[in-house]
Amino acid sequence: MLTHLPILQVILPLVAAPSCLIIRRASLVWLFTLGVSIAAFAVSALLLQQVSTSGAITYGLGGWDAPWGIEYRIDLLNAWVLLVVTGISTVVLAAARASVQAEMDQARQTLFYTLYLLCFAGLLGIVATGDVFNVFVFLEISSLATYALIALGRDRRALWAAFQYLIMGTIGATFILIGIGFLYMMTGTLNMADLAQRLPEVSSSSTVLAAFAFIVVGVCLKLALFPLHMWLPNAYSFAPSIVTAFLAATATKVALYLLVRFTFTVFGVQFSLTSLPLQSLFIGLGLAGVFVASVVAIYQVDIKRMLAYSSVAQVGYMVVGIGISSVVAVQATLLHLFNHALMKGGLFLALAGLAYRAGSCHIDAFRGLGRTMPWTMAAIVIGGISLIGMPLTVGFVSKWYLISAALESNLWFVALLVVMGSLVAVVYIWRLVEAAYFQEPAGDQPPVVGEAPLSLLLPTWLLISANLYFGIDTRLPVEVTGAAAQYLFGGAQ
């Protein structure tokens, strides 16, 4: 069975999804979905262990060898992303039941878990595959499921948000498909490793340059890189709480993985970052995203929306790392991919708890929350500290690596701007602390009855304590991402 691990990673949730429709009962379906997610997490842990001891694994689907057939190829980079996605999914699903029951009618709950599994399978498929057309197919699965999941939000504006994302996401996916078509035209192959070998011969042709442009813009749309982020704040703020927690922690991470995979593996460092002016573009857009989104975040009254803008800013940091394009900088990006999943997963789950009790995530709902929901509020504060990047949290670790990478490459102004970006984060997190601990609940506000249910609180705290644990014991993420970054630059694994 161990040889089948790469494909099991994806087909477990993929086949489980239609089975949900046959099980039907919402509570059973939830248990089933959680079980599938735990199994997927176990598979990804085994995969990472296998890859780090014996190098990259390939798996020929249908028994056909690449490039005739589709190949799954797991190396340190995607094994790491698979672990992050399955881990977050498991924690989010453990918390899902109460929140989904509160936010959706009975008839839609089964559909919700089915769509969740489809989205999950789609994201895993994008990460696991070594074939560019297969990437597109699974991108479609995850995207369609995501649009439907967002539209399930309680607020009617969720429909508009989902539609907006559908249009932007479809444009992004179409661009990626056009790019893939051009690549096939110029090389005759769809296999990533094969493409990497055959592209250098034709890399100066306008067709390959156009392919690169289409793919990078398409992926950046899915990634919500500033200024292509317009869909994200609405999507995150109107989606059901659990969907926001899942998407914020996984979907943009998978898009970031795609960007790294295409620029480093398929097109190659030489083409992507040396012969094109992409470095300064990524650093510029990344930093612009950090500042614009962080400043906009300060003025938001809906805290889900505020954290959504903060996500756009965090994507900026990750893209800056790719822009600096040294081993340490890419390691910082991969570290932040993991760390940001922990922060935003924990923070949005805490907000799910607040939405469960208070019915909204408006800043006014935070007044006096330090007393009525002490555990939820404490989680938000620690998550916020990690988001700012204070020592002893994971946020500090990735920013430390990013700043040292910038200084190593003599980009001192980048380092300075990264630090300043964190200061803006202090402002918007402080607003929450001020409301929760130093303000009385407004008179007309119905009082919050008490702490979030344990089923929500425990998963929240699991992610929040992971923020602290991996902020102190950094061995696992630093070792894996360090090796993965070296591998991307052609070094030994």
Partner 1 sequence: MDLLLDLALLSLLLLTAVSIAWTRDMFAAAMLTGIYGLLSASFFMTMGAVDVAFTEAAVGAGISPLLILATLALCGRNQKADPPRAMLALCLVGAVGALLIAATLDMPAFGDPGAPAHIHVAPHYIGESFAEIGIPNVVTSVLASYRAFDTLGEVVVIFTAGLGVLSLLLALREQQHPIRALSAPHPQHLVLRLVAKVLIPPILIYALYVQFHGEYGPGGGFQAGVIFAVGFILYALVFGLDAVKRVAGHGVVQFLAALGVLIYGSVGLLGMATGKNFLDYSALAADPVSGQHLGIIVIELGVGITVAAVMMLVFYLFSEQLQRGLEDGSGKELTSGRAG
Site residues, partner 1 (CB under 8 A): 4, 7, 11, 14-15, 17-19, 21-22, 59-64, 67-70, 105, 107-108, 111-112, 114-115, 118, 121, 125, 133-134, 137-138, 140-141, 144-145, 147-148, 151-152, 159, 178, 182, 184-189, 198, 202, 205-211, 213-214
CB of 354 to partner 1, least distance (A): 25
By C-beta, is 38 or 61 nearer to partner 1? 61
Q: How far is the CB of 28 from partner 1 (least distance, A)?
A: 15
Q: How far is the CB of 184 from partner 1 (least distance, A)?
A: 6
Nearer to partner 1, 156 or 475 (CB): 156
Specify the residue, 221 or 405, whose C-beta has the smaller distance to partner 1.
221
Considering just the CA atoms, what is the radius of gyration of the chain in Å? 21
Output the smallest distance, CB 140 to partner 1, in A: 5
> Quick one: the chain helix, strand, coil %, rounded to 5?
80, 5, 15
CB contact at 8 A, 121 and 13:
yes
Minimum CB separation of residue 85 from partner 1 in Å reads 18
In the three-class reduction of DSSP (H, G, I as helix; E, B as strand; rest coil), residue 64 is classed as coil
Pairing of strands 57-60, 71-74: antiparallel
60 strand-pairing partners? 71
357 Cβ contact list (under 8 Å, min separation 6): 373, 448, 449, 450, 451, 452
Q: Closer to partner 1 at the Cβ: 175 or 282?
A: 175
- Closer to partner 1 by Cβ: residue 28 or 301: 28
CB of 70 to partner 1, least distance (A): 5
Give the nearer residue to partner 1 in terms of CB position, either 102 or 458: 102
Distances (CA, A) of 241 to 102, 305, 312, 357, 377: 10, 12, 18, 12, 16
Angle ∠(429,169,138) on CA atoms, nearest 5: 105
Mapped onto helix, strand or coil, the DSSP state of residue 165 is helix
From the CB of 202, what's the least distance to partner 1, in Å?
Answer: 8
Residue 204 CB, shortest distance to partner 1, in Å, is 8
H or E element, residue 60: strand 57-60
Which is closer to partner 1, CB of 192 or CB of 388? 192
54, 148, 202, 472 from 388: Cα distances, Å = 37, 32, 44, 16
Taking the least distance from each CB to partner 1, the nearer of 169 and 368 is 169
CA distance 405 to 323: 11
468 by Cβ neighbours in 10 Å (0-12 / 13-18 / 19+) ranks as: middle
